Amino acid sequence: MSHTAHIRSHRKPRRSASTIAMRTGVAGGVLSTLAVAGASGAAHAAEPVTQTLELPTLTADLAAQVAQSADVTQQAAASYQLQAERDAAAAKAAKQAKTDLAEAKKKAAEAKKKAEEAARKEAAERASRAAERTTLSASSDTGSSTGTGSSTSTGTSTATGSAAAVVSFVQAQVGKAYVSGATGPSAYDCSGLVQAAFKQVGISLPRVSQAQSTAGTQVGLDNLQPGDILYWGGAGSAYHVGVYVGGGMFVGAQNSSTGVVEKPLSYDPPSGAVRVL
């Protein structure tokens, strides 16, 4: 017998090949899993995290409400714009009206001033003529009393023929209205009355007093006859005319206050006279 026959061996018993293989497979699987997990973790750590928000999908009702709201907003904007345009137009019109009113007031003031100046001038001329007539009358009276003066026909009231027709016409118009530019039959101005009177006997006179004051032969105021045209102002620049009707009286369309009147020469002494008939 061998001297080692009874000594126990210190070697571990051999494991079977299948056991080793199984254990090796398990370990490899674990390592693989760890490796994949590590790789996945590394990959996730390297890439940034992106959060995705999903918007709600508009339903048909919601889309209709949005469209309606947009229409209302657009209509409101259009209304505001229209109102703004109206306000601007109204402001512009008010400004223009204010300007027009100021201009009208200015023109009215200027017209009033001119009328007042004309009235003052006419009054001064009348006063001057009255003083002149008074002087001439005094001279005439003195001459008559000394026997050096000549008698006149100013006081004669007899009219015949065409002169009588002219006198009759103007006397028939007494009491009618004075209207500037009127030529009858219901109203006259001074030259319109004279023109209408001479038209009755087939004589065509100029329309205005300036021209009528030179339409015939100049005669002295101390030698008047019925039917003579009286004028106030200068010959060719007269501002008023009338018709002598005899007896120291005349008929004329004086002004808007008196209308057509028959007055004595002393009421408003004329500057001169012309004879057409």
Among the listed residues 107, 114, 75, 119, the one whose alpha carbon sits nearest the alpha carbon of residue 256: 119
State whether residue 183 is helix, strand or coil.
strand
Q: In the prediction, which pLDDT does 71 show? A: 82
Ordered by start, the domain boundaries in the chain are 78-146, 153-275
**Which CATH class, in words, describes the domain spanning 153-275?**
alpha beta
Residue 79's pLDDT is what? 84
- Per-residue pLDDT of the chain (277 residues), as tens digits, is 545 555 555 555 555 555 554 555 545 554 555 454 555 555 444 555 555 555 555 577 777 887 788 888 888 888 888 888 888 888 888 889 888 888 888 888 888 888 777 767 666 666 655 555 544 444 434 333 333 333 334 544 577 899 999 999 999 999 999 999 999 999 999 999 999 999 999 999 999 999 999 999 999 999 999 999 999 999 999 999 999 999 999 999 999 999 999 999 999 999 999 999 9
Both structure tokens of 46:
């390297």
d(CA 115, CA 40): 113
Give residue 77's pLDDT.
85
DSSP assignment of 71-125 equals HHHHHHHHHHHHHHHHHHHHHHHHHHHHHHHHHHHHHHHHHHHHHHHHHHHHHHH
Q: Looking at residue 210, what is its pLDDT?
A: 97
Report pLDDT for 43.
Answer: 47
CB atoms within 10 A of CB 104: 10
The pTM of the whole model exceeds 0.85: no
Q: Residue 68: what pLDDT? A: 82
Spatial CA neighbour of 260 closest among 209, 201, 190, 205: 190
